[in-house]
Structure 1
């Protein structure tokens, strides 16, 4: 840990929650015959980023997916493919949050969306009996709820302002280097969780 830290801001995917984005790509390929054309149409609309910024409701999102796919798809099929990347919450990571909360302010800051939020909270309830991630944090910031997403510096500034954090005493942990760089541009201290690293094996180690 870095000395002088009072506040810790955590990313979600690949920091607390294991994810595997290619699983969603594979799931859509199994649903949609012309996946390449589908993805081009989705990207031209910037659909996924706009979903993460709260521009669409889940119903509007599934309608846009059906439109771009050009074939009839049930909501359940789209949700299953969209959520396929979400895996599990290792127990040790949740225990680390509980331990850190005794001595630090904890905030969750994630680029996500309403469909994923419902899915990963259901996983948390099923695996660990916790209703949502808010039980581990003082504040939770989801991109689709605040209309901003990383690495836009405005979302980090929002956290600092609303929580009253001194950036020099704030640590941000994320698995994307560009997100860390954006936070550090505001004076926040960052740890980039590089591929293969985990918080339980490389950052918050048990005292010997």
Structure 2
């Protein structure tokens, strides 16, 4: 697997879910199927999703509106707790060795977090971090954290990569972007950023010489 050349690259932009944090989309799909939304896989997947998810991830609708939209997909009434729990089912653990790696490389590279995420997931994720590690976000590891629902943009759109590059005066040719979704990696490549696609079984630890 490709190793990141510290002589060539000065900046690294990391995705969160599937790169730093372990996730499993099928757990959320199955949870919603159990709630009676049998077509949920057609509404939401790693590669494609219904506009309601895009709108939620870019902050165009709030959590209450998102829950109402999801509830409409069910033939029987669903309460907000059931929907929230099902939506959070995909969120798994964050192995400590990945935090150790971030701590190690942040003195060598400028590192950033760029995530398509939403308020419900962010609240759950922050709670997990607080309970497991004693802090609520990764601000001590990253120079800046860019969350789609807070900045109103999402990957793979060109504007979000341009925004991160411009705000931090980054040279695209000196920047690496790491993501587990190929369409997001393609978006970075089209902007002139070196894109690395993490596939099943690969982790960020494979990208660096220890």
Give yes or no for TM over 0.5: yes
The residue that corresponds to 2:165 in the other structure is 160
The residue that corresponds to 2:117 in the other structure is 112
The offset of 1:13, in angstroms, is 1.1
**Structure 2 Cα separation of the partners of residues 44 and 199 of structure 1:** 26
TM normalised by structure 2 equals: 0.89
Residue 132 of structure 1 is aligned with which of 133, 137, 144?
137
The runs of at least 4 consecutive aligned structure 1 residues that moved more than 6 Å come to: 38-44
| 3-state SS in 1 of match to 2:23 | coil
* 1:7 aligns to 2:11 (yes or no): yes
| Residue segments in structure 1 that go unaligned for 5+ positions in a row | none
**Structure 2 Cα separation of the partners of residues 90 and 197 of structure 1:** 14
Residue 7 and residue 49 in structure 1: after superposition, are their counterparts in 2 closer, same or farther (change >3 A)? same
Residue 64 of structure 1 is aligned with which of 62, 69, 77?
69
**Structure 1 Cα separation of the partners of residues 185 and 49 of structure 2:** 27
Residue 98 of structure 2 is aligned with which of 70, 85, 93?
93
Contact 2:29 2:41 in 1 (8 A): no
The residue that corresponds to 1:189 in the other structure is 194
Tell me which protein shows more helix as a share of its residues: 1
Residue 153 and residue 41 in structure 1: after superposition, are their counterparts in 2 closer, same or farther (change >3 A)? closer
* 1:145 aligns to 2:150 (yes or no): yes
Aligned pairs, how many?
203
Contact 1:121 1:133 in 2 (8 A): no
RMSD: 1.9
